[in-house]
Chain A
């Protein structure tokens, strides 16, 4: 739609002059046959996922004795992976909800894929606490349901229970937000499939489109509820990771019971999530030729958020160290010196290098606009943020108050395999999504096209519909 627009503003849609072209470009992967690379990648991630599930089965069969945990280090890979995946999810909600409230137009073409990333990441995250219970089939006991066990109720004072509520609310609200946003796009695909005579596809996408026809009255309602959902999801972004951080912060373990944890975790979550968004978007825009919709300006905007959140995370690391010294608590001070120079010191320096130093490279425009280097940096961020959680959890636990119970921790192949398996699950879901669902939000991108040209089908002199009677 056209309205007066300053020439200094970026164009978020390039080389596109008609609404029809947007539809064609974005539905192309759905309408065409899967290419061999996609098939191979999906099959490979499916295989990794299957191995992961087999190891989950082994864990359930034998018990969590198959993991490397011990009485001192009672949380390690499992909770690290849980926090890692939940954190990744946060960028999706930030892009879809917070940036909508801030009227950031560049969110329109990356929100769909980021929300998908959120959902798949939260699915991966959810596996770990359930498995760590040891008897996952009793997971229902987490819910405050009337029961015949006493009746025994859950502990509402426990952050672990807050997590159950936070994660399930986060997952279901994100899912609804994501699906709702896809309804108009499903309708577009339905009508394209019907025009192409592909009846089965039209019926499937039509079923998912809920009979959407794009009436103005419904668009009006649709926009309002999108806005309200964003308003509801925005505090969710902050609350979920704050609650995850309270799993640690409300305990009395040195290195964990700090008041900085909630904002520090939220900044870290957004940082890691944007790292993953970079990884996925660089590949997606290239493979599906979406450079006109996910432009270099988009990639730069993401990089700028990475600098901001990466610096916040770095600031938090230093604040933690300062407060550990300033608190005068011997245990606190020891834990932090042990973190950086103890037996797990290597993991601390991996974390510090990846999260504090590498994102600073994005200050240079040459690096921000070089997709190969950006991709490598994004991988560094993913690695660094995984290590951050590992450092927080394992180094705080392995040397507790009593030196006689000090212990080390080495993961077993079962734990490592389950972790790699969740990458398989995540990528498998993402590949399926990128083939069968519209990766870019078509109707929102169309609102960014200013001064459209006459559609090609009208230039050729075709009539609108076969049924309509010309006046």
Chain B
């Protein structure tokens, strides 16, 4: 985001915000984003947010973890360093279950979280760009990119009719 002019509708009740968003969607107004102190359930269809594919990524990382574990143990015990412990088979696959499971979880969890941080562009010390300095506390903000709308007055009246306590503009 750099030097964009935003029209902001600020709400203190998330239910009112959802009503306003419903109206905006009916009027086919492109909403840039909504900022809220907690996840508002049921907002995704109103903003046309597609379900994240992080779950697929997580599955792939998990599969990689499983492969790593099986390859590691198979190579070590089957090829590099077969061990004879009490005459029992060296490649005893039931013994490999716990480590295979643990590495699957390890890879899936860390891979998914790292992907989330990279996709969302989060890193330690990143400066947050805030629409309102209370949006992480008790204020809910609908942001609309002014260059992508034609009838600003109509949007303002939607905000007003649905209980926005303040309608402002901000350049970020």
Contact = CB atoms under 8 A, between A and B. Distances in A.
A28 interface: no
B11 to A, nearest CB: 10
A2 interface: yes
A214 B51 contact: no
Given A213-B130, A468-B170, A443 B110 contact: no
A443 B106 CA distance: 27
A442 B127 CA distance: 21
Interface string B70-108: 001100110011010100100010011011011101101
Contact of A165 (B80, B98, B128): B98
The interface size bin for chain B is 35 or more
A223 B40 CA distance: 10
Contacts of B135: 191, 213-214
Given A464-B10, A468-B170, A166 B98 contact: yes
Contact of A210 (B98, B124, B131): B124
Contact of A191 (B95, B112, B136): B136
A210 B117 contact: yes
A194 B133 contact: yes
A206 interface: yes
A172 B110 CA distance: 9
A471 B52 CA distance: 36
Q: Which of B117, B120, B138 has the most CB of A within 10 A?
A: B138
A156 B169 contact: no
A464 B138 CA distance: 11
A470 B33 contact: no
Contact of A468 (B55, B103, B113, B168): B168
B109 A23 contact: no
A125 B150 CA distance: 63
Contacts of A144: 72, 76
Contact of B101 (A18, A19, A235): A235
Interface string B53-83: 0110010000000000000110011001101
B122 A210 contact: yes
A233 B37 CA distance: 26
A464 B102 contact: no
A79 B159 CA distance: 63
Interface string B38-59: 1111011001010110110010
Given A157-B92, A221-B54, A151 B81 contact: yes
A5 interface: no
A218 interface: yes
B126 A211 contact: yes
Contacts of A177: 109
A165 B106 CA distance: 9
A344 interface: no
B136 A188 contact: yes
A241 B139 CA distance: 43
A195 B134 CA distance: 9
A239 interface: yes
A228 B105 CA distance: 11
A161 interface: yes
Residue of A18, A214, A457 contacting most chain B CB atoms (<10 Å): A214
A155 B52 contact: no
A237 to B, nearest CB: 11
B39 A219 contact: yes
Interface string A179-209: 0100110011011101100000000001111
Contact of A216 (B8, B43, B130, B165): B43
B126 A217 contact: no
B113 A213 contact: no
Nearest to B92: A157
Interface string A424-465: 000000000000000000111011000010110110000111
Nearest to B166: A464
B10 A232 contact: no
B37 A446 contact: yes
A217 B40 contact: no
Interface string A397-438: 000000000000000000000000000000000000000000
B120 A221 contact: yes
A30 to B, nearest CB: 14
A442 B136 CA distance: 10
A18 B35 CA distance: 18
Contact of B127 (A19, A211, A235): A211
27 contacts: A152-B81, A153-B77, A165-B102, A168-B106, A210-B117, A210-B123, A211-B123, A211-B127, A211-B128, A213-B35, A214-B135, A216-B39, A216-B44, A219-B39, A220-B43, A220-B49, A220-B52, A225-B54, A233-B105, A239-B101, A443-B37, A443-B39, A444-B38, A446-B37, A447-B41, A464-B10, A465-B168
Given A228-B58, A465-B168, A469-B170, 15 more contacts: A159-B98, A162-B99, A169-B105, A177-B109, A206-B127, A207-B125, A213-B128, A214-B135, A216-B36, A219-B36, A219-B39, A452-B138, A458-B165, A464-B166, A470-B166
Interface of B: 8, 10, 12-15, 33-41, 43-44, 47, 49, 51-52, 54-55, 58, 72-73, 76-77, 80-81, 83, 85, 88, 92, 95-96, 98-99, 101-103, 105-106, 108-110, 112-113, 116-117, 119-139, 156, 165-170
